[in-house]
Amino acid sequence: MERKAVSAIMLTLFLTVMLTLSLDVHRVKASGTIYIRANGSVDPPDAPISTFDNITYTFIDNIYDSIVVERDNIVVDGAGYTLQGSGTGIDLSSRSNVTIKNMEIKAFDYGIWLQYSSNITISGNNIATNPYNYAGIWLEDSSNNSISENNLTHNYNAIRLENCSNNGISRNNMTDNYAGILLSHCSNNSIYENNMMNNQRGIKLSYSSNSSISENNITKNYFGVWLYYSSNITIPENNITRNSYEGIRLEYSSNNSVSVNNIAKNYNGIELRYSSNNTLVGNDVTENSYYGTWLVWSSNNSIYHNNFADNAVQVECYYSTSIWDDGYPSGGNYWSDYTDVDLYCGPNQDMQGSDGIWDHPYIIDEENQDNCPLTTPYTPQRIFIYTNNYTFHTGDTMEVGLHIINLEDSLNLCVTVWLERPSDKIYLLLHAHNVALPIGLDYDNPTLKSFTLPSIPLGIYTWHAAFLNPPTHAILVEDTAEWQFV
């Protein structure tokens, strides 16, 4: 009995020791900063980083110190392990052609630091530094670097660049940071396909130029995109929604382009403040809870081919005068709160036939008006069908007109014209397959077809004209013109 008790005690002690060892096995801590030296060695030698070729350096355990890289042309692979500590996580000052990947970086003031560095790749890392300190990734005086496919959370600045050029920031996820991406005094950088949510600032560029912000998803931040004293920035094809203050703000910024963005359900959609000579083209500005677009002391901006729909206030101009259309036949903007008549066409809207432009201007205020407001949401390819009258009798001559416009890239489409009768029967007038529409096309034929009407059933008839997708024959754009036989 005594023997059994002793054996049980020994077994318990053995298991306790083994459990303690198993819990400690992953908490390896070097005695101080780890260096990857210029000669390829790791210092200290017992640091949990292995290399067989002095090119690829792989973590073999968690590390609780900083790493300083002194060697170029290498790969540092975290292999899923954690780098945690204070100060700077990985110092890449004056380095070239180094890749940092596959690691968790936590609690540092700077997760990854680049200064005077080039051709650095930072990819596939999870970075959560200290939300009250500096940055997950910080670049200073560095160029031709790539930051992609990282997750950055709970940083003060997720990614910050100072005096940097020709860098790419792409396909990163940034959530719950004070600032997602912040660039200052930078040029020729590309920010694309990032996902940004719940940050105080999504993307902010200050004193920067010649850069692009494209195809990002920017939602539920305080500010979406903010340019401050910046110029020649292009902002195309972003999804900017549900930001609690502004979707896009341009402040003291000029010669920028904001195009083909979805800007919806923010407090203000777009704000221009002390900004001039910017272009806002082809944006969907919808359901913003205060202003769709707000101009404050901002003049000589060109704003056209946008769809302004269901904003609390479509546009407000304060000491600002801008251009709200691109002339005829290109047109202005679509305004969901405006309905007029479209009986005429031509630069002066005095020629018979509809053209998709309301016959009278959309008045914003005494200094601003859209001279060519669109009848339907903007599309670069437009087709219109019209007749020489609305009411017809037996023996009358009906002239069917067709107006085709292509404002953007040349392409081939099918063109179809048909008549819908009161009996729901269809009469096909025209089907042209794979018609070439050159850029800038403005084809208007008021007598595409001329009829002397026989005695036909009384009622409402409808002409249809449409562009079809050549392979599928799906309708892309359609217009109709009703007429009555009495």
User: CA separation (Å) from 360 to 191, 368, 377, 448?
Assistant: 41, 14, 17, 26
Domain edges within the chain: 27-199, 252-378, 381-485
pLDDT score for 246:
95
* Torsion sign across C-alpha atoms 41, 46, 49, 50: positive
Tokens 């459990």 correspond to: 19
Report DSSP state, residue 263: E
Q: What's the CATH fold of domain 381-485? A: Immunoglobulin-like (2.60.40)
pLDDT score for 417:
94
Report DSSP state, residue 16: H
- Residue 234 pairs in a beta bridge with 212, 257
How far apart, in whole angstroms, are the C-alpha atoms of residue 471 and residue 354? Answer: 29
- Residue 14 pairs in a beta bridge with none
- Cβ count within 10 A of residue 41: 14
How far apart, in whole angstroms, are the C-alpha atoms of residue 181 and residue 363? Answer: 38
Name the pTM for this structure. Answer: 0.83
pLDDT score for 271:
98
CATH of domain 27-199: 2.160.20.10
User: CA separation (Å) from 404 to 130, 272, 378, 473, 482?
Assistant: 58, 35, 14, 18, 18
3-class SS at 109?
Answer: coil
User: CA separation (Å) from 478 to 299, 349, 414, 463, 468?
Assistant: 36, 22, 12, 10, 9
- Going by C-alpha positions, the residue among 323, 319, 361, 359 that lies closest to residue 343 is 359
To the nearest 10°, report the CA torsion of 209, 211, 215, 218: -40
pLDDT score for 350:
86
How far apart, in whole angstroms, are the C-alpha atoms of residue 372 and residue 356? Answer: 9
Q: What is the pLDDT along the chain (486 residues), one digit of tens a residue?
A: 443 443 444 444 343 434 343 333 334 444 589 999 999 999 999 999 999 999 999 999 999 999 999 999 999 999 999 999 999 999 999 999 999 999 999 999 999 999 999 999 999 999 997 766 689 999 999 999 999 999 999 999 999 999 999 999 999 999 999 999 999 999 999 999 999 999 999 999 999 999 999 999 999 999 999 999 999 999 999 999 999 999 999 999 999 999 999 999 999 999 999 999 999 999 999 999 999 999 999 999 999 999 999 999 999 999 999 999 999 888 999 999 999 998 888 888 888 777 889 999 999 999 999 999 999 999 888 898 989 888 999 999 999 999 998 888 889 999 999 999 888 778 888 899 889 999 888 888 989 899 899 999 999 999 999 999 988 989 999 989 889 999
How far apart, in whole angstroms, are the C-alpha atoms of residue 263 and residue 224? Answer: 10
How far apart, in whole angstroms, are the C-alpha atoms of residue 475 and residue 115? Answer: 54
